[in-house]
Amino acid sequence: MTNQPLLRALRGDTVLPPPVWLMRQAGRYLPEYRALRKKARNFLHFCYTPELAVEATLQPVKRFGLDAAILFSDILTVPDALGVEMAFKEGEGPVLQPVDPERDLDRLDASALCEKLAPVYQAAAEVKRALAPETALIGFAGAPWTVAAYMLEGRTSRDYLVARRAMARSPDAFVGLIDLLVRATVDHLSAQIEAGADVVQLFESWSSVLNPAARRRWSIDPIEKIIQGVRAAHPDAPIIVFPRGAGVQIVDYAEAEPDGVGIDTATPLDRTGLPNDMCLQGNLDPAILIEGGEALKAATLAMVARMRGRPYIANLGHGVDLNTPPDHVAAFVDHVRHAGELSGDIGG
């Protein structure tokens, strides 16, 4: 048995009060993060320096007493480890040397991935040692489509048309890229679990731009393969999938058999169609967190009340915004922890 509330929820228990953490809980909205960030040459150096990554991971846990730490890293460390040239530009986000799946696949090398990402696993091991036993450590990776989207496009995009046209033009070459990313992601998640991650989350941040057939072939099916691959080696580590913008097709992600599903801000938590024993995570609007006050309290209590009686993890429906006052995050955690009492529920 585990004494981690997050793990219990992911194994199907109804936990009261529900465990709580926030996507992008480490980051620039925290003054201590901004101070730490100055010590790194650039963002990748930050991710690959265990001392800095460990401290950034622990900062929000120390400040807010959350039920989980998420390893400070990025989904784009995988293409970096595959040999794609990239940089994180101030104010612009990631810029990558665009990959053409019809020409460039031979140049991507997955064999040395875990060696190149060794500092990430070292950071995970150090975080695990520093955490209280009841606090879960979450490892993560981008899902293959989302990572491929950045690799093909070379930067962030509103619609990822370059990447979507490539999958339509040459699905055979696209299969090669997605399969490579499936293998790399299984290795990367497994290594994080071996280093001490209790749970892993797959971020499918750009599920939103896929048509239904493409979502099935390039998002749900590869995620299913990753889950099978990770579970074969690590049957006890729960896997959360966060397919942002999947719309009514959110229900189809159950076929990949994750232990938990992250729900975005646009999807009603009580109308996902996902099985009642599958743990849901989400989905407070980050704008309400920025606003705080009574709006935050009312929305948080309503959200937790709606999820009573099923396995559930309180979280946002998208990452913490840069403009969020840290005190509002503290208030959010407090509202989640007292939601049961306030609605006349004894909990337990």
At how many degrees (to 10) do helices 171-195 and 161-169 cross?
A: 120
Which among 9-17, 23-31, 174-182, 208-216 is the span making contact with ligand 1CP, rule CB under 6 A? 23-31
Q: Does residue 200 contact residue 240 with C-beta atoms inside 8 Å?
A: yes
Q: Closest separation between CB of residue 193 and ligand 1CP, Å?
A: 16
Which among 24-32, 99-107, 164-172, 339-347 is the span making contact with ligand 1CP, rule CB under 6 A? 24-32
Neighbours of 14 (CB within 10 A): 15
Single out the residue of 5, 8, 25, 200 in contact with ligand 1CP (rule: CB under 6 A): 25
Is residue 150 part of the annotated active site? The answer reads yes
Residues 225 and 179: their CA atoms lie apart, in Å, by: 9
- Residue tagged active-site, from 33, 48, 150, 253: 150
Neighbours of 172 (CB within 10 A): 8
Q: What is the size of the binding site for ligand 1CP (CB under 6 A)?
A: 22
Q: Does residue 30 contact residue 326 with C-beta atoms inside 8 Å?
A: yes
Q: Does residue 309 contact residue 18 with C-beta atoms inside 8 Å?
A: no
Is residue 37 part of the annotated active site? The answer reads yes
| Residue 189 binds ligand 1CP, judged by CB under 6 A | no
Burial state string for 120-139 with b = 16 or more CB within 10 A and e = fewer than 16 = bbbbbbbbbebbeeebbbbb
Single out the residue of 308, 319, 326, 345 in contact with ligand 1CP (rule: CB under 6 A): 319
Is residue 109 part of the annotated active site? The answer reads no
Lateral strand order in the sheet of 239-243: 68-70, 136-142, 199-204, 239-243, 260-262, 279-284, 312-316
- Residue tagged active-site, from 8, 11, 13, 28: 28
* Nearer CB in complex with ligand 1CP: 75/178: 75
Token pair of 223, please?
Answer: 């995620």
* Nearer CB in complex with ligand 1CP: 75/227: 75
220 secondary structure, DSSP code? I
Q: One symbol per residue from 67 to 106: x for binding ligand 1CP (CB under 6 A), - otherwise; what is it?
A: ---x-xxxxx-----------x----xx------------
Which among 19-27, 127-135, 170-178, 336-344 is the span making contact with ligand 1CP, rule CB under 6 A? 19-27
Single out the residue of 37, 217, 234, 306 in contact with ligand 1CP (rule: CB under 6 A): 37
Neighbours of 347 (CB within 10 A): 11
- According to CB under 6 A, which residues from 198 to 217 bind ligand 1CP? 203, 205
Burial state string for 52-71 with b = 16 or more CB within 10 A and e = fewer than 16 = bbbbbbbbbbeebebbbbbb
* Nearer CB in complex with ligand 1CP: 26/313: 26
Residues forming the active site: 24, 28, 37, 74, 150
Q: Which residues bind ligand 1CP (CB under 6 A)?
A: 23-28, 37, 43, 70, 72-76, 88, 93-94, 140, 156, 203, 205, 319
